[in-house]
Chains A and B, each alone.
Chain A
């Protein structure tokens, strides 16, 4: 196999022997017929199309439904590796919730001088409407999707914390279903920890945070979607379905007697917990963007009066803001009293003149991201960019330095994918999904592995031609 030594491959070590977690899989793979496996790949694609696991691509003329390519080679993580990741993620998510409570109340972290005041004061992601608000159950981020990358045997970095409305969990679940159908024999050989309880846990986590106004025996939960043209509509419908919750849009909702209610065939019915997949800005045209057609006018007032739980809470974006990212190790230490278990990627804040100079001098080696961007839009991958692209980006950077941060190009680990001739290494990242209840943090073993299908590419985003893999966490 063609492995370039400068990247850590998760399946094969430098000598070409399978690493521990992959040993059984590698034996199995060696005995399989490549043609047969390629057929399985095609079966998987047909299966995804049939059940309609598609996403819509923004910026296309028609709302085009596309499939995220699925690769049939699983990404396998050992029990030991996972245990450490789990600890690290839990620590980080706890710190984020403590930070959010603090930043919207006494702001001890600013008083202690551990975080510059202006980074909060001038940040659009900081919602002043949330100051002094106590979210039901004390939970800000009910759902978190922590993006991790690996660069070596024991080197994991947190790339992003995704504390707003992380997506992709439906792919985690459907990828597993697909693998179970296609390769049942593998699941009898390897002890793969299940992921299928995620929807029930999500329901439980949301129900545990019912608002003060809830009085009944089962909280009414609804998923708020921007609608069928949203890129993640499939996921919204999928989660509502799996949780037994209603899938609502803005025009289904209205405020009646101080509660947010949905229009049913028998009149208006109060919602206790709203799992919204709509950004803060669009949530409430009365309180935020007045032109929003996606939200509910006045929902913030109901929320503050304890009439509804909004998940994730409004204003959590301040915790995964890229301008704050570089302070995360301090934030973790400040609230947990411990050193951060997971590393942060070294980050240059372009708002600082010294950093800006360094970034401009080393542009072709760095990854530069917009502070408020997401989904791989508007970012520069220095080593892959042409001279013209670099020049164009330099202009943007000089014009608005505070809009950017820069990070070294990480040597992302690789996992093989199935290509015509067999296996070939491609770069991957990992997004585990975390559910936060008042008393417990639950992390589904595994998550979504995204893979850059193009040889040598480091961009794994589905909007930029990335695919996905099933992620297996092995039992003890």
Chain B
């Protein structure tokens, strides 16, 4: 496979994942805005912080309010993380690597892009937001479904999966890091209703409110959330899960190519950080420090993958 093709697949799936993550973040923020009276600007700010585009937003708009944030996240062409930008980049990468995709995957992503161009041609209002978000969820599911159902499990598939899990690991770590303070056992927060909303929101941002409920009953505690999103290998958006998948796909590539590469050693070391750990240790070590390192590790691993498989030269 061409190095360029591997890179195109990797980025195509990173951006697809990014679309979904942005939409989910927006959905969680929107829910808070609906269920809480009074000031919701703080919630929108943390949404912007999680997406890593707060500064850029502040340059464009004087204040943080729902209407602007929604449109900034969904359809602002200047915002590289907006759903419209991300789906365009994903689709343009798909065009680049068309020869590596099944026609089903290509058509799914192409139709996704066409649907988004149409749905996001005009500003999204509170009335139309739900429909747009549900369309994003459905379209993403179709691309993922065609990937699973129609693609050969070879190196092409591995690069798609690597992109997905690198982006997802980064996203989950960011969500936690922006909100890490509400997960700390600090006296001022414990027990207040403010807590519960914040915690629920974290779970919603990773579509984990239901599964968390199954596992822990009705009781939401900060350390259970941290455990669930960092260490639980059953949870498909946890850091442990993402890094196990990254390692698994690199192992497949090693099997195919018959060559042990530096990125694999890195992935092994990273993945080991999430195995046989207790969440209490992490909290004691410092949650923020732990998450900062997690974000950095993922970024370094991604650039090592780029080098080892010659994405750019």
Binding site for B on A (CB under 8 A): 49-52, 228, 233, 237, 240-241, 246-249, 251-252, 262-267
B95 touches A246 (CB 8 A): no
Q: Cβ of B257: which chain A residues have Cβ within 8 Å of it?
A: 265-266
| CB-defined contacts of A237 to chain B, threshold 8 Å | 95, 98-99
Shortest Cβ distance from A51 into B: residue: B107
Question: CB-nearest residue of chain B relative to A267?
Answer: B310
User: Shortest Cβ distance from B278 into chain A, in angstroms?
Assistant: 38
Contact of A265 with B99 at beta-carbon distance under 8 Å, contacts A50-B111, A51-B107 already known: no
Known: A241-B98, A263-B310, A266-B257. A50 touches B110 (CB 8 A): yes
Give the residues in chain B near A246, CB-CB below 8 Å.
2, 5, 99
Say yes or no: A233-B95 contact (C-beta < 8 A), given A246-B2, A263-B3, A263-B310.
Answer: yes
Please name all residues of chain A whose beta carbon is closer than 8 Å to the beta carbon of B103 when the two chains form the complex. Answer: 51
Chain A residues positioned under 8 Å from B5 (CB to CB): 246
When the two chains form their complex, are residues A263 and B95 in contact, meaning their CB atoms are under 8 A apart? no
**Residue B114 at the chain A interface, CB threshold 8 Å:** yes
Contact A251 B313 (CB under 8 A): yes
Q: Which residues of A contact B92 (CB under 8 A)?
A: 228
* Further 10 A-B residue pairs, CB within 8 A, beyond A51-B103, A266-B257: A50-B107, A51-B106, A52-B95, A52-B110, A248-B2, A251-B313, A263-B310, A264-B1, A264-B2, A265-B155
- Per the bound structure, the CA–CA distance linking A49 and B107 in Å amounts to 9
- Contact partner of B2 among A49, A51, A252, CB < 8 A? A252
- Flag if A265 contacts B3 (CB, 8 Å): yes
A263 touches B99 (CB 8 A): no
Contacts of B1 in A (CB 8 A): 264-265
Chain B contacts for A248, CB-based, 8 A: 2
Pull 11 A–B residue pairs with CB atoms less than 8 Å apart, ordered by A.
A50-B107, A50-B114, A237-B98, A246-B2, A263-B4, A263-B313, A265-B2, A265-B3, A265-B155, A265-B257, A265-B310
From A233, A248, A266, residue with most partner B Cβ within 10 Å = A266
Q: Which of A49, A228, A267 contacts B114 (CB 8 A)?
A: A49
Complex contact B309–A265 (CB within 8 A): yes
For A251, the chain B residues whose CB sits under 8 A away are 4, 313
B74 to chain A, nearest CB (A): 21
Is B259 an interface residue, CB under 8 A from the partner?
A: yes
Q: Contact at A247–B99, with CB atoms within 8 Å?
A: yes
Whole-angstrom CA separation of A267 from B98 in the bound complex: 21
Residues of B close to A249: CB separation below 8 A: 4
Query: Residue-by-residue, is B81-96 near A (CB-CB < 8 Å gives 1, otherwise 0)?
Result: 0000000000010011
Interface residues of B in 241-261 (CB under 8 A from A): 257, 259
List chain A residues, Cβ under 8 A from B259. 266
A52: chain B residues at CB < 8 Å are: 95, 98, 106-107, 110
Instruction: Tell me if B6 is interfacial: C-beta within 8 Å of chain A.
Output: yes
What is the distance, in angstroms, from A220's C-beta to the closest C-beta of chain B? 12
Closest-CB distance, B159 to chain A (whole angstroms): 8
Bits for B1-44, please: 1 = Cβ < 8 Å to A, else 0.
Answer: 11111100000000000000000000000000000000000000
Closest to B155 in A: A265
Smallest Cβ-Cβ distance to B93: which chain A residue: A228
Bound Cα distance from A263 to B96, whole angstroms: 15
Instruction: Known A50-B110, A50-B111; judge A264-B3 contact (CB<8 A).
Output: yes
CB pair B2–A240 under 8 Å, yes or no, is: no
Residue of B nearest to A254 (CB): B313
Chain B residue contacts of A266, Cβ below 8 A: 257, 259
Of the listed residues A52, A228, A248, the one surrounded by the most CB atoms of chain B closer than 10 A to its CB is A52
Quick one: closest B residue to A253, CB to CB? B2
Is the Cβ of B111 less than 8 Å from the Cβ of A263?
no
B146 → A minimal CB distance (Å): 13
CA distance A246 to B100 in the complex (A): 9
Contact with A along B206-229 (1 / 0, CB 8 A): 000000000000000000000000
Nearest-CB distance from A138 to chain B (Å)? Answer: 30
A240 vs B2: C-alpha distance in the bound complex, in angstroms? Answer: 13
- CB neighbours (8 Å) of A263 from chain B are 2-4, 310, 313
Contact of A265 among B6, B96, B98, B110 (CB under 8 A): B6
From A238, which residue of chain B is reached at the shortest CB distance?
B98
Residue of B6, B96, B99, B313 touching A228 (CB-CB under 8 A): B96
B residues within 8 A CB of A240? Answer: 99
Q: How far is the CB of B295 from chain A (nearest CB, A)?
A: 26
CB distance from A15 to the nearest CB of B (A): 46
Find residues 119-169 in chain B having any chain A CB closer than 8 Å to their own CB: 155
Instruction: Given A246-B2, A265-B2, answer yes or no on A51-B310 (Cβ-Cβ < 8 Å).
Output: no
Q: How far apart are the CA atoms of A9 and B37 in the complex, in Å?
A: 73
In Å, the complex CA distance between A262 and B1 comes to 9
Closest residue to B108 on the A side, CB-wise?
A50
Query: B111 to chain A: which residues have CB within 8 Å?
Result: 50
Contact with A along B276-294 (1 / 0, CB 8 A): 0000000000000000000
List of B residues within 8 angstroms of A49 by Cβ: 114
Measured CA separation A452–B313 after assembly (Å): 45
Q: Is the CB of B99 within 8 A of A241?
A: yes
| Nearest-Cβ distance from residue B200 to partner chain A, whole angstroms | 39
Chain B residue with minimal CB distance to A268?
A: B310
Q: Which 8 A-B residue pairs are closest in the complex by CB-CB distance?
A: A241-B99, A265-B309, A237-B98, A263-B3, A265-B6, A240-B99, A52-B110, A265-B1
